[in-house]
Structure 1
Amino acid sequence: MGIIQTPNGFSLDNTGRRVVVDPVTRIEGHMRCEVNLDANNVIRNAVSTGTMWRGLEVILKGRDPRDAWAFVERICGVCTGCHALTSVRAVEDALGIKIPKNAHLIREIMAKTLQWHDHVVHFYHLHALDWVNPVNALKADPKATSELQQMAGPNHPNSSPGYFRDVQNRLKKFVESGQLGIFKNGYWGNPAYKLPPEADLMAVTHYLEALDLQKEIVKIHTIFGGKNPHPNYMVGGVPCAINMEGDMSAGAPLNMERLNFVRARIQEAYEFSKNVYIPDVIAIASFYKGWLYGGGLSATNVMDYGDYQAVLGDKSTDRLPGGVILNGNWDEIHPIDPRDPTHVQEFVTHSWYTYGDDSKGLHPWDGVTEPKYELGPNAKGTRTRIEELDEGAKYSWIKAPRWKGHACEVGPLSRYILAYAHGVTYVKDQVTDALGRFNALAGTELTAKQALPSTIGRTLARALEAHYCAEMMLNDWDDLIANIKAGDFATANVEKWDPKTWPSEAKGVGTVAAPRGGLGHWIKIKDGRIENYQCVVPTTWNGSPRDPAGNIGAFEASLMNTPMERPDEPVEILRTLHSFDPCLACSTHVMSPDGEELAKVQVR
């Protein structure tokens, strides 16, 4: 291919050494990444590939739309619940169903619980090891670690030298046993790791704390939704009754004791994100102050539908507004309408699907999920053992969504850039405070526009959003209690439960600010059954292959121009890709390597 210039401003050169990372691990699903390096080991071309086919859109055809949430929720076991929420919103939109205020507030608490949990697990258990060397923590001085903790997060109660010494001794026994477990396959000798031992020990300690805390916060889902993962939802509201004077044996899962339990878990989340999570990200980032790579499309094109919906129009600041920013112009925010066929389209020119005419994009209401697996003429290897992909042909199971033809990044960073540009006071204050603390620790003077569009900025935005969600949950809980005290116990609207009340044809769309970005489900209903169902998920936006015009997606763009210390130890590639928290199980549309049907199951 040689050097080509993409319409969205990237110069690609695939003539240099190619490095393949397959699979990309510590993510949900299956992903492959190929990059080309120049003579200085700088990435000059990137090819991102989703390597599995989901097929749920096909499974849903002909089914009852009231059941769709239960199917699509199984798309992913990590972002559990957000697909269900998006689905019931789409069906309710199609059928004109208004849910009770209590149902709205309970859904919001469940969604923000997921958001907080997902962000914390992402950073500590999926992403931190791209920055943190746990083996190096054995060299730390526990007293100096305690001093670092007091400087980074002075309000965390677990910060004594003795506490860090105990954790260090536990870690030492673990390492000396020769069974490193989850820490085994890291590139711990790579000079790309910059933290001093004390910062490594602090981060590993909080890694363990987050393991304990994450299993507590999800109990909110078990109270409101019956279980986790995959809590229960329902079209028209939530499947949990309220009986403030009874106990659970009376058949109502919500009483004052259970609601107070929820309040306590929210408070724990609030304290952890404030005193541990955000300080950790800022402290770790300060040691990587010169590593401002990985921005990609976040520096130019970002998108979100907007969410954290206020109740009945009140608390207008209690939301992150959506929109689209193009070409890095934060002074102009374009609207996005998921109903408009020109706003959201998916292309399959370089995806293993076919539309018949693959040069055209389709709006999700008219979407087609027809697989067409074939390797390009310049690919190397075989269909079942690919050595090198041909990016000039089809090369991914992920489609290519575009806003009016523009590739956009989605995610917490996009939401925060949009909110910052919109002038949302809470977000601007958060960013200003975090950036001030970072600059003080790092000895820099970076502005928001310099720091946010980067791998580090993407990671920081998640931490800030987690704490924002915790604070909003406290408000949602107060509103829920006030509404119940006012005598409102309704949790579901079943006026349109019977399909006989539905129009013969209807279509709707639901959107959610999912942990990885803007999530949309589109549904068409005919004669009481699903005629078409399409999910366009955040990793579809971010992990998309090239479109007919040659625009590259957010994953590929984020890797461009990144220098690598040791190409055979691609920590820089993993660091940036992990910052998106890719969910390939969500984004890809299961079939065998040769494409034949795997199994047919008839349910009686």
Structure 2
Amino acid sequence: MATQTAAEGLVEMSWDPITRIVGSLGIYTKIDWKQRQVVECYSTSSIFRGYSIFMKGKDPRDAHFITSRICGICGDNHATCSIYNQNMAYGVQPPHLGEWIVNLGEAAEYMFDHNIFQENLVGVDYCEKMVRETNPGVWEKAKNTPAPHAEQHGFKTIAEIMTSLNPLEGAFYREALQVSRTTREMFCLMEGRHVHPSTLYPGGVGTVATVQLFTDYLTRLMRYVEFMKRVVPMHDDLFDFFYDALPGYEKVGQRRVLLGCWGALNDPEYCDFSYERMSAWGRKMFVTPGIIVDGKLVTNDLVDINLGIRILLGSSYYDDWQGQEVFVKRDPLGNPVDVRHPWNQHTLPRPQKRDFDGAYSWVMSPRWFDGTDHLALDTGGGPIARLWSTALSGLVDIGYVKATGHSVMINLPKTLTKPEVTFEWKIPKWSNALERNRARTYFQAYAAAVALHACEKALGEVRAGRTQTWEPFKVPKDAISCGFTEAVRGVLSHHMVIRDGKIANYHPYPPTPWNGSVRDRYGTPGPYEDAVQNTPIFEENSQENFKGIDIMRAVRSFDPCLPCGVHMYTGNGSVLKKLHTPHAFASGAAS
């Protein structure tokens, strides 16, 4: 049985490991079983990697080859961000065609990864087998609830949607696996190899650009567009049903709206990668950067975003670098740079025993400083922050997608069997588990729409005879630089300092430390911790048979890293249940 603290009436329950998140993710909770609510949560990571340490002294031209190995799923996001970083350091602007090819590769990666996570990993949390096991009452209601958009996706009831998501057996589950293969092919057409690109370099790409290349990509893209015309209404039906079937379910995974987006998919007509003009070309990205606090846009200026980043140690296994060398005192525009900015960070690991009253994780506590508070931003798994930021800025308008100031319009053209369709993602009432998942579906359609635009632009370059894809450059003796983009599951930045032609300091910051951060020195919990602490328990199982599905949905809505098994135990570590089927508690890939 679970151990209860008599004075508090709390039950300790833990999941470790739950997923692999630049190491292994553990979630430690205290649950008020009488009130059926999580009252305390700690997020831990048990593996130290140290890229920022062994990057020192390397040739900066090797940075993208090395940092892409940070992750075996979205390594191309790191390679791309490193390339952006190097372009700034070397003062090189790739040919337009080279940048369109990078955009097509990154768009394919969004489509690939979001699809496989949404349908084959987190989708299992909402499948028939899981719902029947954890909420039999909800399953019975699903069997008798018609799907409002049945004509678009083909499933008559909500129960049929759930059944189609059953791992290995469900029809939609299997179809999504095939779609993932197609999108990976799209990526490889542009960047040679997945997941560590073989044709991506500073100054552009080595891809040989032909009409045939983009036609092959476009053929696969149109099949994906047709697929999305079913997927968006299907997920709307599924997620809307949970709100109706379980009143109050909006509280699962809900936290204050504190979202960060660093922008993605540069427009080569405007982007020259210079720091001095970063504010202007950042706003021309096809995914607009932005900081959203309580639903309001604070800034969409990449210079402001860059200068506001702070790396706090909090409850992590590191020594403070106060008093160490300061690499960058002012940015290229003359603005002061804080000692806790990534340009000035020193990584000083200090292994120790886990102590929830002290240090308990290898993840630091990235924060964004607004001049008053150190904000624990989250990415919402990536898509909800990207769509929210883009919608509020209202800057994107390329025909296939349009930001309105309160929503994002996504237009998908006629395909083989389906007419032209327009979807509208509207800013939701909450940042919670269901809305993070819903946004992921809409962003798949958004990425496809931007890819249609990029493909047209790339074909235009080739037909006009502008087939150069790479621009020569020289490595300076000294430089400071940064790269900003969106990894699949959220914000990604690379900061570099070059001295004597070698890397003197290099710090990649993917969404993992932002979402999985620990309590900082001010006692502010990280996003996983905060979201789980606010989560009520709707599962119908008794304490003895508790699966923790609501907690799992809260954490997985952020799209955490590559899954391993989940071992659930209570009290002092006695095993309650060990799940041998990874699909039941699977999750997405690390960034």
Which TM bucket (shorter chain)?
0.7 to 0.9
Question: Cα gap change, 1:26/1:348 in structure 2, threshold over 3 Å: closer, same or farther?
Answer: closer
For 2:115 and 2:527, locate their aligned partners in 1 and report how far apart those are by CA, in whole Å: 23
Question: Cα gap change, 1:514/1:14 in structure 2, threshold over 3 Å: closer, same or farther?
Answer: farther
For 1:130 and 1:361, locate their aligned partners in 2 and report how far apart those are by CA, in whole Å: 42
CA contact (8 A) 1:22 1:31 kept: yes
Alignment of 1:163-562 (within 5 A): 197-203=159-165, 204-232=170-198, 233-242=200-209, 255-276=210-231, 278-289=232-243, 290=247, 291-297=249-255, 299-313=256-270, 319-326=286-293, 328-330=294-296, 332-335=297-300, 337=302, 342-357=307-322, 362-375=340-353, 379=355, 390=356, 392-404=357-369, 405-410=374-379, 411-423=382-394, 426-427=402-403, 451-496=429-474, 499=475, 502=476, 504-562=477-535
| Partner of residue 415, structure 2 | none
1:304 Cα deviation from its structure 2 partner: 1.3
1:224 Cα deviation from its structure 2 partner: 2.1
CA contact (8 A) 1:60 1:530 kept: yes
For 2:466 and 2:59, locate their aligned partners in 1 and report how far apart those are by CA, in whole Å: 30
| Partner of residue 594, structure 1 | none
Normalized against structure 1, the TM-score is what? 0.74
Question: Cα gap change, 1:506/1:222 in structure 2, threshold over 3 Å: closer, same or farther?
Answer: same
For 2:506 and 2:216, locate their aligned partners in 1 and report how far apart those are by CA, in whole Å: 37
CA contact (8 A) 1:338 1:509 kept: no
CA contact (8 A) 2:253 2:534 kept: no
- Which letter maps to 1:201? T
For 1:109 and 1:34, locate their aligned partners in 2 and report how far apart those are by CA, in whole Å: 40
For 1:99 and 1:14, locate their aligned partners in 2 and report how far apart those are by CA, in whole Å: 61
Moved more, 340-349 or 61-70: 340-349
- Which letter maps to 2:11? R
Question: Cα gap change, 1:317/1:58 in structure 2, threshold over 3 Å: closer, same or farther?
Answer: closer
1:531 Cα deviation from its structure 2 partner: 1.0
Moved more, 200-209 or 540-549: 200-209
More strand by share: 2
For 2:358 and 2:132, locate their aligned partners in 1 and report how far apart those are by CA, in whole Å: 46
| Cα shift readout 1:442-493 (whole Å, capped 9, x = no counterpart) | xxxxx95654411111011111111111011011000001111111011000
Secondary structure of 1:478's counterpart equals helix
CA contact (8 A) 1:294 1:560 kept: no
- Which letter maps to 1:85? T
1:154 aligns with 2:111: no
1:87 Cα deviation from its structure 2 partner: 0.3
1:134 Cα deviation from its structure 2 partner: 3.9
CA contact (8 A) 2:19 2:26 kept: no
1:240 Cα deviation from its structure 2 partner: 1.5
Alignment of 1:87-98 (within 5 A): 87-98=82-93
For 1:460 and 1:358, locate their aligned partners in 2 and report how far apart those are by CA, in whole Å: 46
CA contact (8 A) 2:83 2:202 kept: yes
- Give unmatched runs, 5+ long, in structure 1: 1-12, 162-194, 243-254, 380-389, 435-446, 586-604
1:228 Cα deviation from its structure 2 partner: 1.6
For 1:366 and 1:337, locate their aligned partners in 2 and report how far apart those are by CA, in whole Å: 18
| Cα shift readout 1:169-207 (whole Å, capped 9, x = no counterpart) | xxxxxxxxxxxxxxxxxxxxxxxxxx9532322333211
Normalized against structure 2, the TM-score is what? 0.76
Secondary structure of 2:80's counterpart equals helix
Percent identity for Structure 1 against Structure 2: 25
CA contact (8 A) 1:543 1:555 kept: yes
| Partner of residue 249, structure 1 | none
CA contact (8 A) 2:97 2:461 kept: yes
CA contact (8 A) 1:347 1:361 kept: no
Q: Please give the root-mean-square deviation of Cα atoms over the aligned residues, in Å.
A: 3.3
| Partner of residue 596, structure 1 | none
| Partner of residue 333, structure 2 | none
For 2:46 and 2:112, locate their aligned partners in 1 and report how far apart those are by CA, in whole Å: 27
1:433 Cα deviation from its structure 2 partner: 8.3
- Which letter maps to 1:71? I
Question: Cα gap change, 1:202/1:279 in structure 2, threshold over 3 Å: closer, same or farther?
Answer: farther
1:160 Cα deviation from its structure 2 partner: 8.7
Secondary structure of 1:287's counterpart equals helix
CA contact (8 A) 2:124 2:130 kept: no
CA contact (8 A) 1:136 1:197 kept: no
1:241 Cα deviation from its structure 2 partner: 2.6
| Partner of residue 251, structure 1 | none
Secondary structure of 1:534's counterpart equals strand
For 2:253 and 2:426, locate their aligned partners in 1 and report how far apart those are by CA, in whole Å: 13
Secondary structure of 2:519's counterpart equals coil
| Cα shift readout 1:519-546 (whole Å, capped 9, x = no counterpart) | 0000111122111110111111111001
- Give unmatched runs, 5+ long, in structure 2: 1-6, 272-280, 325-337, 411-424, 564-591
Question: Cα gap change, 1:538/1:240 in structure 2, threshold over 3 Å: closer, same or farther?
Answer: same
For 1:229 and 1:295, locate their aligned partners in 2 and report how far apart those are by CA, in whole Å: 30
For 2:527 and 2:130, locate their aligned partners in 1 and report how far apart those are by CA, in whole Å: 32
Secondary structure of 2:251's counterpart equals coil
